[in-house]
Amino acid sequence: MKNSFKFKRLMFLGATFYQLPAIQKAKELGCSVITVSKDLTEIGHSFSDMSLNISTTNKEDILEAARLYKIDAIMTYAANAAVETVSYVAEKLNLCGNPLGSAKILQDKGKFRSFQKEIGLPCPDFCIVHSVRDLDKAKELLSKGELVSKPVDSGGSRGQTIIKKVSDFDDAFKHAQENSASGDVIFEEKIESTMLELDGDVFFQNGEIAFALYGHNYFKKKSVHKVPVGEIFPGNIDKRIKDDLDKQFSIIIKKLNLTSGCINFDGLVSKDGVFIVDIALRNGGNYVPKMIEISSGFNMTEASIYAAFGFTYDVQKQTRSTPVVSYVISSDQEGVFNGFRVKPSMIDQVVFEHLIVEISDIVYPFDTGDKTLGVVAFKLGSIAEAIKFTDTVEDYIELDIDTQKRAKGTAGMRISPFINNKLTIAIKNNDKKMQEVLKREFYLSATNQGADKKNEKYVLKHFEASSTFEFEGHKIIGLERLYRNVLVVEPIMQCFANCRHCCRQNYLPFSLSNEDLSRIAKCILNVPELKDLRELLITGGDPLLVPTKIMRFLDELAQNDTQIKIVRIASRIPIHQPSAINSNVLALFKRKYPFRLEMATQVNHSLELFPEVKEAFKLIREYVVIYNQTVLLAGINNNIPDLIDLCNELRFLGIENHYIFQCVPIKEADELRTSIEESLMLIRGLTTSGLISGRSKPQLALLTDVGKITLYEGSIIERKGDNILLQTNYSYKDRLKWNPSWQLPVSAQVDKAGLLQVWYKDKSR
């Protein structure tokens, strides 16, 4: 059946994180996908064949575009806004779809309540209020107990209030109306549930239920906001409840003449029966279809695409029933997001995770569904365990929110959760080599913990190369320039782990905003002193912590006649946390630009190339060239056999070998340094061994106060004790031309030809 999608055009309304799985699945099936939204920076546009900048609620403009591009099907996924538009266009073009009138009923809480009442389905007593003058009707319902007020046309708990007394009505009505497009508000009796709230997706085709999985919503234990914080699949639901739900959905499908598609719902079970409280003619948000697939094996996303085209989906018998629990990563306070981690005791149970926000983003208390930071899902042993786990799931998520609204460094974390887990496994398996490599690279040794940061033999930064420009009345920060063609852009000075050999841990933590990056893009395009630029190196910190920020920055740079030919993005995330190479990151690398994208990384030992790491690199390698720079580290890789293994593994992965760097003299890492003499011996032995490809032979480079220096004959012109004087071909005059704010370091001098010489600290003899 997959061949049936070849050359078929699917118009997909929406392109957010939640909608990306369906866009990717449609592409996998062979569709030509046209994504539509009013924000072309949304992630889904990177994965489609064509992007249209139209609001998904603009029915007429989307109809016109659908006619123009002769689409074969139209759909949306995981969001309410475009449901009516899908039915409208399908009706007008005689495409497969569900009746517009039915979509309007299921889209409007007031109309759906009236529909339930009319056909005899269980529903709470309710009242629809159009203006404050009509509130008296709603107040009469209070005699039956607490009420719930909410907009008739909004989801995610936006505008919702629990009403306990008459004095609550005015504020509740105002709150709901502010969150409603139509201005209509529904007041209904609050159903007292006897079990966890129901949740799930129903797939129907040919006017009948084909597959349904019912689970539960659950809520934060200590939160005053009644917003679901996750789902459980499958639910602790007996046959009586399942049959009742099946019957109600069958009636709804029949009465509304629904043909094929998905229904997402929330429901409650009380002493009076089973109630469908909220309903939508689309798949569930918060990655509910993914949860259903993990739990049951049924691919609700794929089924939805088949339904959009009117193709019959082969609904096979459920292959498994795995208890899974999702948790919506969320904050109780406003502040700067500095990351999260799952505690090691539960990390092996994680089956899915996806962050929506990025490091350094401002986040807000989780009072509505749109304040979600991300989703993580766990696999449990039984339904009973899954339900019990929801009581403690928050205890296993460590969330770092700085309420002072300042991006923090990560000096306290020397090792990422992924590497930490691998070290735990190595200790359990008595893998001495793995332990030595990981501990020496990431953990402080007892002998170095008391080192004096101010001691002159240590460096605090790689070099001083900050470029100071003013543009549009603002000082530009986050730029470095040492060379004519290349400008370094540092959008963030944070990382998953502070490697012991990296000077970046001594830099002041910061994160540039979208506005800052926009200003840099304009500066690159318009400042005369930067007209010679041809390359950007985006580094930090780790820029892949903020991939959507980088994508927006590059989008702006690409919109103009840019002189930039190549953009390099440096990251160690595939090694530190390969699961973070997700759709956000791949969207960045997959995007089409007028310049070439490349990725720089740093693998220091072949043992770091775990299967998950290799897979992460392979995903990136599909879109861009990756090159590697290794740091030579004593006790880790300062021997020919380990370096040969590393060069070969990188070659097999398609990663280009570029530099082997001498470890810089940095606090707490002195024991990791090799001498210049040893480094030269190692690079000579490696490159003349005949045991690696000529395409993977690296150069030996030193990172000095005036920039990178590759050692050749005559590069070392003098030695004084542990210090060596290096000759460069860097012109002092040119350096000042490219970077007027650059100052000659105390370790450097200018020779008679105007070229820079620099003193470099060798390892103590």
pLDDT tens for each residue of 180-214: 888 899 999 999 989 999 999 999 999 999 999 99
**Residue spans per domain, the chain:** 2-95, 125-189, 469-761
**Distance between start and end Cα atoms, the chain:** 70
Answer whether residue 742 shows pLDDT above 60: yes
Neighbouring C-alpha atoms within 13 Å toward the C-beta of 545: 27
Question: Do the beta carbons of residue 323 and residue 387 sit within 8 Å?
Answer: no
pLDDT tens for each residue of 72-91: 999 999 988 999 999 999 99
Answer whether residue 738 shows pLDDT above 50: yes
Choose between 442 and 701: higher pLDDT. 701
Confidence of residue 415 (pLDDT cuts 50, 70, 90): confident
Confidence of residue 451 (pLDDT cuts 50, 70, 90): very low
> Residue 679 is inside which H or E element, if any?
helix 676-687
pLDDT at 453: 42
Q: Tell me what the pLDDT averaged over the chain comes to.
A: 89
Confidence of residue 499 (pLDDT cuts 50, 70, 90): confident
Confidence of residue 449 (pLDDT cuts 50, 70, 90): very low
Measured between alpha carbons, how far is residue 225 from residues 156, 228, 679 in Å?
12, 9, 60
pLDDT tens for each residue of 214-264: 999 998 776 655 688 999 999 999 999 999 999 999 999 999 999 999 999
pLDDT at 460: 45
What is the mean predicted confidence (pLDDT) over 260-285?
Answer: 94
Fold adopted by 2-95: Rossmann fold (3.40.50)
Instruction: Please give the Cα distance from 756 to 706 (Å, whole number).
Output: 8
Percent of the chain with pLDDT over 70: 93
pLDDT tens for each residue of 502-539: 766 555 566 788 888 988 999 898 888 888 999 999 99
Per the listing, tokens 């500066």 go with 523
Sheet of 755-761: strand order equals 716-720, 723-731, 755-761, 748-750
Omega before 745 cis (within 30°)? no
What's the CATH code, domain 125-189? 3.30.1490.20
Answer whether residue 14 shows pLDDT above 80: yes
Confidence of residue 319 (pLDDT cuts 50, 70, 90): confident
Q: Which tokens hold the place of 562?
A: 């840019």
Q: What are phi and psi of 453, to 5 degrees?
A: -60, -25
Buried/exposed 278-310: b ≥16 CB within 10 Å, e otherwise: ebbbbbbbbbbbbbbbbbbebbbbbbbbbbbbb
3, burial (CB in 10 Å: exposed 0-12, middle 13-18, buried 19+) = exposed
* Reported pTM: 0.78
Domain 469-761 has CATH 3.40.50.970: no
Choose between 389 and 459: higher pLDDT. 389
pLDDT at 456: 46
What is the mean predicted confidence (pLDDT) over 477-483?
Answer: 84
Q: At what angle do helices 611-621 and 640-653 cross, to 10 degrees?
A: 40
pLDDT tens for each residue of 665-682: 876 677 888 999 999 999
Question: Do the beta carbons of residue 210 and residue 204 sit within 8 Å?
Answer: yes
Percent of the chain with pLDDT over 90: 60
pLDDT at 73: 98
pLDDT tens for each residue of 453-464: 444 455 545 556
What is the mean predicted confidence (pLDDT) over 710-720?
Answer: 91
pLDDT tens for each residue of 603-615: 999 999 999 999 9
- The amino acid that residue 35 corresponds to is T
Answer whether residue 755 shows pLDDT above 50: yes
Answer whether residue 412 shows pLDDT above 50: no
Instruction: Please give the Cα distance from 660 to 604 (Å, whole number).
Output: 9
pLDDT at 455: 41
What is the mean predicted confidence (pLDDT) over 49-59?
Answer: 95
pLDDT at 475: 78
pLDDT tens for each residue of 593-650: 999 999 999 999 999 999 999 999 999 999 999 999 999 999 999 999 999 999 999 9
